[in-house]
């Protein structure tokens, strides 16, 4: 029989993982606790298993606990569960990309084995993610006893595990922000600059599309040094200076972004030249 799993915090991530664990018989979803009983019932409905509860006092002991709450709530919720005497000898994990398993220190002090497992993808559409989770990379770190259970459990729902250094968890999460959020910011700057040159928004997106998609493909296929092209790669600092002045004159904050990116790109170009030496 599959071990029982209690879920605290069943937003998009908690719901998707809960459904996959239940569907594939990895864990038996037992109690589900969220901000309200109504949302807990909705979560249990999405998962297709579990009993909605309206407070920690209503939760039953379980060998496995998933805390899929917001980053700032992980430690307080863990403390409350530990104080309720629910975590002794259990495996307790959270799903944050920004916080390490050290956030679960209260559980560890209570005798639990703790870990962090972070699925590296967007959960904006839970239905779609649940249907196509196979192959999802998950950053994983924690106590060996916890990983011994959670590693096979996540592999059973199709995860590809990537061990990470708990001490570098914040930098690890920043990597995802660079690869996703800040990529959007840079493209926004490009589209606004095209529009400042008199190009309609829909045309600007078409102009940026081949540059952005081909560059991303080259970076992922060849590496950033080989993919780098343009004035910095050529050492054309005069062009860089003219662009810097023009962009700053058009929009000062975007000019600051351009300057910061130029400085980083000069270092990337140095690595490119060193690799060719």
146-157 pLDDT, tens per residue?
A: 999 999 999 999
pLDDT tens column, 88-126 = 999 999 999 999 999 999 999 999 999 999 999 889 899
- Give the span between the Cα atoms of 18 and 159, in whole angstroms: 14
Please answer whether residues 5 and 156 qualify as being in contact, where contact means their C-beta atoms are separated by less than 8 angstroms.
no
* DSSP reduced 3-state for 66: strand
Residues 6+ apart with CB under 8 A from 202: none
User: Model-level pTM?
Assistant: 0.85
| 3-state SS class at 272 | helix
- Between CA 55 and CA 164 the distance in angstroms is 33
DSSP state letters, 121-139: S--SSHHHHHHT-TT-EEE
Using the predicted structure, report yes or no on whether residue 277 has a pLDDT greater than 80.
no
Q: Check residue 39 and give its pLDDT.
A: 96
Q: Which pLDDT does position 122 carry in this prediction?
A: 87
For residues 95 and 36, give the distance between their C-alpha atoms in angstroms, rounded to a whole number: 20
Please give the average per-residue pLDDT across 177-186, as a whole number. Answer: 94
Decide: helix, strand or coil at residue 270.
helix
pLDDT tens across 197-219, in order? 999 999 999 999 999 999 999 99
């Amino acid at each position: 029989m599959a071990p029982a799993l209690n879920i605290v915090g069943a937003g998009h991530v908690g719901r998707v993982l809960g459904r996959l664990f239940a569907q594939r018989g990895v864990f038996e979803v037992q109690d589900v606790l969220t901000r309200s009983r109504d949302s807990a019932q909705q979560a249990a409905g999405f998962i297709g298993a579990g009993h909605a509860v309206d407070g920690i006092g209503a939760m039953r002991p379980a060998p496995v606990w998933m805390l899929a709450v917001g980053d700032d709530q992980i430690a307080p919720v863990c403390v409350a569960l530990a104080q309720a005497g629910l975590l002794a000898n259990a495996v307790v994990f959270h799903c944050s990309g920004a916080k390490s398993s050290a956030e679960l220190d209260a559980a560890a002090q209570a005798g639990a084995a703790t870990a962090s497992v972070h699925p590296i993808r967007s959960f904006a559409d839970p239905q779609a993610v649940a249907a196509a989770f196979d192959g999802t990379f998950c950053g994983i770190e924690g106590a060996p006893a916890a990983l011994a259970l959670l590693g096979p459990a996540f592999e059973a729902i199709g995860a590809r595990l990537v061990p990470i250094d708990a001490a570098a968890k914040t930098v690890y999460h920043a990597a995802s922000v660079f690869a996703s959020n800040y990529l959007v910011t840079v493209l926004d700057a490009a589209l606004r600059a095209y529009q400042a040159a008199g190009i309609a928004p829909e045309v600007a997106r078409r102009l940026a599309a081949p540059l952005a998609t081909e560059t991303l493909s080259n970076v992922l296929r060849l590496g950033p040094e080989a993919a780098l092209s343009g004035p910095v790669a050529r050492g054309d600092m005069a062009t860089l200076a003219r662009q810097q002045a023009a962009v700053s004159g058009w929009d000062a904050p975007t000019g600051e972004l351009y300057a910061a990116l130029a400085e980083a790109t000069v270092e990337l170009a140095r690595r490119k030249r060193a690799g060719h030496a």
